[in-house]
A and B are shown apart, each in its own frame.
Chain A
Amino acid sequence: MRKILQIILLFISVEAHAQFSMSVSIGVSSNKQSDLRALQDDNVSNALIPVRTVNNFEATVHTQLALCYLIGSKNELGIYSVIKSAGARSGLQDSTGSYLIDQKANLFSLGFQYARVFGTNFRSGMRLGFNQTTNFLERSIEVHSNTIFHDSLKLKADGFGANPFIGFQKPLFNYIALGIEAGYLIDFSNDFKVGSLKTDIKPDWSGYRISAKLAYTFYRKI
């Protein structure tokens, strides 16, 4: 009840020392993406010529923006957004042409986060948000600068994600803090759709994440 009251007080701005923080986290995260990897492998195995895979949804950059509000000194509540991209590439090229099998998947996540602050620098929490994934598939064969084959397909999927995390944050100056954060994303996305038609594969961004964090803290006066 007390926390609820605090939240209410937050939104009507009656607390004397409201503390906000904006943060940017950039790191690396792994992806399960078992369906999309299998799809890439399948395309490779069915290629007209032997091709090689140079990337198949390997770990990629993970970018996160958050706006949080510290309630008292222990509880932090806020909103966050995650932007992430991964993909796969297989093919072959030489002076006579190229054979390309590509996938590029983008994740946009938006949701709420809660963290509990331990001491002054450690925190642990959970993010829950809405996930939207787009995946663009492309295959092309080019011989002597002539495209003899090309096709593409755009897939979309929605879902939810849960992201438990722990972090360490150290103030450097008055308002600036640096930190690191680690977590695990659990993806509950639905199957991809092509237009309104449902497919039988789905994205799976589940995986570990570690990132560096830059936070700016400011106060709000009564």
Chain B
Amino acid sequence: MRKIVSMKGSKKVLLCCFVIAVCCHSCFTPEDLPENEIMPLQTPSIDAVNFFPSDQQTILFGDAVIDISMTHDGEAYGYQLLLNNDTVFSGRNEPRMAYFDTREFEDGNYLLELKVFFKTNTNSIADQLGTEVVIYSVSKSVKIDNTSGISKPKLKAFSVSDGELYLEVEPFSDNFGFESWVLLDGNQNPISTFVVESATKMLVPGYFGQPIDLYVRLNAKQRTEVSDLIHYKWNYDIEMTKSDGNIKIEWNEPPFNNYEIMEVYNWSGTPSSMQRFTGRSNANVAAGTQFYHRYFITLTAKSRSSQQSLVGRVWARSNAVAIPTNQEQIQRYTFRNDSVLSVFRFLVDGNRFDYGDYSATNYLIRSNSFAENDSLIELVSQNQIAFSYNFNKVAQIGSGSFSFLDTMTLQPVSTYHYADLISPSDVSQLYLSNDNTVGFLHNQNTTISLYDLSTGSVVDSYDYDCSQIFTYGQSYDINQAGLIFTKAYNGLSSKLGVVDGRIGCPGNTPKTMWFDKGYVVNLDGGGFPYNNYNEIAIEDLNGTKLTSKSIENAYHYPGIYQNLYFLVHVNGYVKGYDLSNNIEEVFSFYSPNLPSIGYVQPQLKAGRFSILTSENQLFFKDFD
């Protein structure tokens, strides 16, 4: 065996050289950061500040308007109005007036404080970042009174439908400001909540003719008022069965003892009289072989005792007449322009208009938001909390969809449940779809499946490990429905599929959002590694770019509201773009203390834009 010449000493030398070399390489040490020169502090002088005229110390119910005027020589960084240390207004530009809603606060005495944040003008890093400011504060005591001048609303009329009690309320414009009605049963337990505002109609679901005592409670945010007790004891105990082509209508305890005439209509487009009865006995209705969806019974009666005419209507649905199982989830409606519809989410003339509230199942749509002409509304079906409404006239059931052609008063007639198509235990989170599918995130949080609601079958699924998917609240927001969920890291995304839910793993930021049927809006450009996107593009679901617009560098966390698409830009500006109009910029404002990058989730709901700043301040801006 050969032997290498001894070189113990040399080996040590080489080993030392190697160590030195490794140390040299691994010690990349750049120079120290450049020093920033700090200037002396310049305290601003405030010459005059006046806010909220001194002769007005009580703020009454409603929106409070605070007049502000001041003169100073400093460079103001921001303004903040506080009520007992709760921020009610903040902004970067010097306000002449500030607004807040008294309903946010209980009646009582408060300390109203105006803070002005001046730059220190030291040019320090903290000064430039806005984290070091000179604060000028002035305050005064005020009293909030939400109670004075508020009258109780009165119920005016009642009507019933199958499974639902429908109440009409006198207009209560003088009570504007309450946010919801709550119907209570005789034990004061809530039955139904209804958004107030301009609504004059309330729905009590699950009513099947049983005697019921109702209260109405008006909820202002911090205030509750219970109206007079309403004793509602109509008792229509009606059964409808079908046999041999006939519909048999029976009532066990006829409530019509004092009435003389009853008319029964079928319901197929235009109500037409099937049969007219006189008297108080049960009736058989010749329905032939037709499977009409609904029967409409009108009681036109005269009270023998009082000789007064009374008209009541009863919706009833035969147990023997099944709802067609092939119906699509998109149902079409027309509605009168001055009506109010409570829906969950729907489309208008093919375009997504709005979504309801996910948790409350009630949502108020102001019909005056639409054009004067009747609009076609497509109400998209949902999950077990979904419900649908139609109007008084049902045109037809055909080709899997309902059409309601008349423009009569809105009246809910039915509730559909699709949850029985899918076992709820299979899912932990639900996302809505814009057509016949709905995405569910499984309990294991590893698979997303898309279900066809008409059949309940899985049409597609994706493996998607998001075990911490709900760590961040902004990862999903049902009111932001319409996103393509992406598997992304800092803009490096891959589309997995289209659902109307927003799914993003922690650290993954969706940059593609569902815009409209078949289209998405996508952030493109140099999105690496800090999401400095420079293009907004409307694409079809195949990724074909249809329209695009160059933008200044933008971060992630975009939002979409109707046709409005908004972004946080790197320079601290929040900008909105009209997707229906060549992605034109429609608003731009500076949001103080926006985190450059971070888990910030801007939202725009009901016309209010909000964003959580790096200082955990909620900045908001309202739009018309």
Interface residues of A (CB under 8 A from B): 13, 22, 24, 26, 39, 42-43, 46, 48-49, 51-52, 54-55, 60-61, 63-65, 83-89, 91-100, 102, 104, 106, 137, 139, 141, 143-144, 148-149, 151, 153, 155, 175-176, 194-195, 197-201, 214, 216, 218-222
Interchain CA distance A218-B3 in the complex, whole Å: 12
Determine the residue in chain A with the shortest Cβ distance to B5: A218
Encoded as 1 (CB less than 8 Å from any A CB) or 0, chain B from 7 to 37 comes to 1001001100110111011111011111111
Encoded as 1 (CB less than 8 Å from any A CB) or 0, chain B from 560 to 584 comes to 0000000000111000000000000
Determine the residue in chain B with the shortest Cβ distance to A58: B30
Q: Is the CB of A199 within 8 A of B492?
A: yes
Determine the residue in chain B with the shortest Cβ distance to A219: B5
Whether, in the assembled complex, B65 has its beta carbon less than 8 Å from a beta carbon of chain A, the answer is: no
Q: Is the CB of A93 within 8 A of B35?
A: yes
**Which of B94-102, B146-154, B398-406, B527-535 lines the interface with chain A?**
B527-535
Interchain CA distance A17-B26 in the complex, whole Å: 38
Across the interface, which residues of B come within 8 angstroms of A176, CB to CB?
Answer: 10
Rank and list the top 6 A-B pairs by shortest CB-CB distance, nearest first: A89-B30, A96-B126, A94-B36, A85-B28, A63-B21, A83-B25
Known interface pairs A95-B38, A175-B10; A61-B24 also in contact (CB < 8 Å): yes
Known interface pairs A54-B34, A65-B18, A85-B25; A194-B492 also in contact (CB < 8 Å): yes
Q: Is the CB of A54 within 8 A of B33?
A: yes
Q: Is the CB of B30 within 8 A of A54?
A: yes
Encoded as 1 (CB less than 8 Å from any A CB) or 0, chain B from 579 to 618 comes to 0000000000000000111100000000000000010000
Encoded as 1 (CB less than 8 Å from any A CB) or 0, chain B from 216 to 244 comes to 00000000000000000000000000000
Tell me whether chain B's interface is mostly helix, strand or loop, or mixed: loop
Which one, A42, A61, A96, A214, contacts B38 given CB within 8 A? A96
Determine the residue in chain B with the shortest Cβ distance to A60: B28
Across the interface, which residues of A come within 8 angstroms of B13, CB to CB?
Answer: 216
Across the interface, which residues of B come within 8 angstroms of A216, CB to CB?
Answer: 7, 10, 13-14
Q: What's the minimum C-beta distance from A32 to chain B, rounded to whole angstroms?
A: 17
Q: Is the CB of B597 within 8 A of A151?
A: yes
Interchain CA distance A64-B301 in the complex, whole Å: 106
Interchain CA distance A139-B456 in the complex, whole Å: 48
Which one, B26, B33, B128, contacts A85 given CB within 8 A? B26
Contacts A46-B530, A97-B131, A149-B597 aside, 16 further interface pairs with beta carbons under 8 A come to A26-B21, A46-B553, A49-B128, A54-B33, A63-B25, A92-B35, A104-B28, A139-B597, A143-B132, A144-B126, A149-B614, A155-B529, A194-B490, A195-B489, A216-B10, A216-B13
Which one, B18, B26, B27, B129, contacts A143 given CB within 8 A? B129
Which one, B21, B31, B127, contacts A89 given CB within 8 A? B31
Q: Is the CB of B36 within 8 A of A214?
A: no
Across the interface, which residues of A come within 8 angstroms of B24, CB to CB?
Answer: 26, 61, 63
Q: What's the minimum C-beta distance from B307 to chain A, rounded to whole angstroms?
A: 80
Q: Is the CB of B129 within 8 A of A83?
A: no
Interchain CA distance A15-B136 in the complex, whole Å: 90
Determine the residue in chain A with the shortest Cβ distance to B22: A83
Whether, in the assembled complex, B371 has its beta carbon less than 8 Å from a beta carbon of chain A, the answer is: no
Across the interface, which residues of A come within 8 angstroms of B526, CB to CB?
Answer: 42
Q: What's the minimum C-beta distance from B613 to chain A, rounded to whole angstroms?
A: 11
Encoded as 1 (CB less than 8 Å from any A CB) or 0, chain B from 81 to 96 comes to 0000000000000000
Interchain CA distance A188-B181 in the complex, whole Å: 70
Known interface pairs A55-B31, A61-B25, A83-B25; A93-B125 also in contact (CB < 8 Å): yes
Whether, in the assembled complex, B157 has its beta carbon less than 8 Å from a beta carbon of chain A, the answer is: no
Of listed B22, B30, B490, residue having the most chain A CB within 10 A: B30
Interchain CA distance A155-B26 in the complex, whole Å: 17
Across the interface, which residues of A come within 8 angstroms of B10, CB to CB?
Answer: 175-176, 216, 218
Which one, A42, A85, A149, A221, contacts B532 given CB within 8 A? A42
Interchain CA distance A171-B128 in the complex, whole Å: 60
Across the interface, which residues of B come within 8 angstroms of A100, CB to CB?
Answer: 33
Whether, in the assembled complex, B2 has its beta carbon less than 8 Å from a beta carbon of chain A, the answer is: yes
Q: What's the minimum C-beta distance from B573 to chain A, rounded to whole angstroms?
A: 12
Determine the residue in chain A with the shortest Cβ distance to B132: A96
Across the interface, which residues of A come within 8 angstroms of B22, CB to CB?
Answer: 63, 83
Across the interface, which residues of A come within 8 angstroms of B124, CB to CB?
Answer: 94-97
Whether, in the assembled complex, B4 has its beta carbon less than 8 Å from a beta carbon of chain A, the answer is: yes
Across the interface, which residues of B come within 8 angstroms of A42, CB to CB?
Answer: 526, 532
Interchain CA distance A155-B490 in the complex, whole Å: 13
Across the interface, which residues of A come within 8 angstroms of B125, CB to CB?
Answer: 49, 92-94, 96-99, 143
Across the interface, which residues of B come within 8 angstroms of A87, CB to CB?
Answer: 28, 30
Question: What are 8 A-B contacts defined by CB distance under 8 Å?
Answer: A46-B570, A54-B34, A89-B30, A94-B124, A143-B132, A148-B614, A198-B492, A214-B17
Across the interface, which residues of A come within 8 angstroms of B14, CB to CB?
Answer: 22, 24, 216
Interchain CA distance A55-B34 in the complex, whole Å: 11
Q: What's the minimum C-beta distance from B15 to chain A, rounded to whole angstroms?
A: 10
Across the interface, which residues of A come within 8 angstroms of B37, CB to CB?
Answer: 94
Across the interface, which residues of A come within 8 angstroms of B570, CB to CB?
Answer: 46
Q: What's the minimum C-beta distance from B199 to chain A, rounded to whole angstroms?
A: 45
Which one, B2, B3, B25, B36, contacts A92 given CB within 8 A? B36
Interchain CA distance A12-B621 in the complex, whole Å: 81
Of listed B5, B21, B596, residue having the most chain A CB within 10 A: B21
Interchain CA distance A216-B14 in the complex, whole Å: 8
Q: What's the minimum C-beta distance from B244 to chain A, rounded to whole angstroms?
A: 68
Q: What's the minimum C-beta distance from A222 to chain B, rounded to whole angstroms?
A: 6
Which of chain B's residues 380-402 have a Cβ closer than 8 Å to chain A? none
Q: Is the CB of A92 within 8 A of B129?
A: no
Interchain CA distance A99-B126 in the complex, whole Å: 10
Q: What's the minimum C-beta distance from B99 to chain A, rounded to whole angstroms?
A: 30
Known interface pairs A84-B25, A149-B597, A220-B4; A55-B30 also in contact (CB < 8 Å): yes
Interchain CA distance A64-B122 in the complex, whole Å: 49
Determine the residue in chain A with the shortest Cβ distance to B24: A61
Determine the residue in chain A with the shortest Cβ distance to B128: A49
Q: Is the CB of B33 within 8 A of A97?
A: no
Q: Is the CB of B596 within 8 A of A48?
A: yes
Q: Is the CB of A91 within 8 A of B34?
A: yes
Q: Is the CB of A94 within 8 A of B132?
A: no
Across the interface, which residues of A come within 8 angstroms of B528, CB to CB?
Answer: 199-201
Interchain CA distance A104-B28 in the complex, whole Å: 8
Across the interface, which residues of B come within 8 angstroms of A195, CB to CB?
Answer: 489
Q: What's the minimum C-beta distance from B77 to chain A, rounded to whole angstroms?
A: 14
Known interface pairs A48-B572, A200-B528; A96-B127 also in contact (CB < 8 Å): yes
Across the interface, which residues of B come within 8 angstroms of A88, CB to CB?
Answer: 30
Interchain CA distance A177-B529 in the complex, whole Å: 47
